[in-house]
Amino acid sequence: MKKRHVMLIDDNNFDCFIANRIIANSHLTEKISMMNSAMEALDYLRKAQMESDDFPDLILLDVAMPVMDGFAFLDDIAKFQQVQNRTCIVVMLTSSANDKDIDKSKTYAYVKDYFVKPLTVEMLERLF
Determine if the peptide bond prior to 56 is cis (ω within 30°): no
The whole-number pLDDT of residue 127 equals: 86
DSSP strand E in the chain: where? Answer: 3-9, 29-35, 58-61, 89-94, 111-116
Whole-model pTM: value is 0.94
The whole-number pLDDT of residue 128 equals: 81
Please tell me the distance from the alpha carbon of residue 43 to that of residue 96, in angstroms, as a whole number. Answer: 25
Instruction: Tell me: pLDDT of 54 over 90.
Output: no
The superfamily (CATH) of domain 3-127 is Response regulator (3.40.50.2300)
Q: Which of 52, 58, 63 is nearest to 105 (CA)?
A: 63
Please tell me the distance from the alpha carbon of residue 121 to that of residue 71, in angstroms, as a whole number. Answer: 25
pLDDT digit string, tens, across residues 78-122: 999 999 999 999 999 999 999 999 999 999 999 999 999 999 999
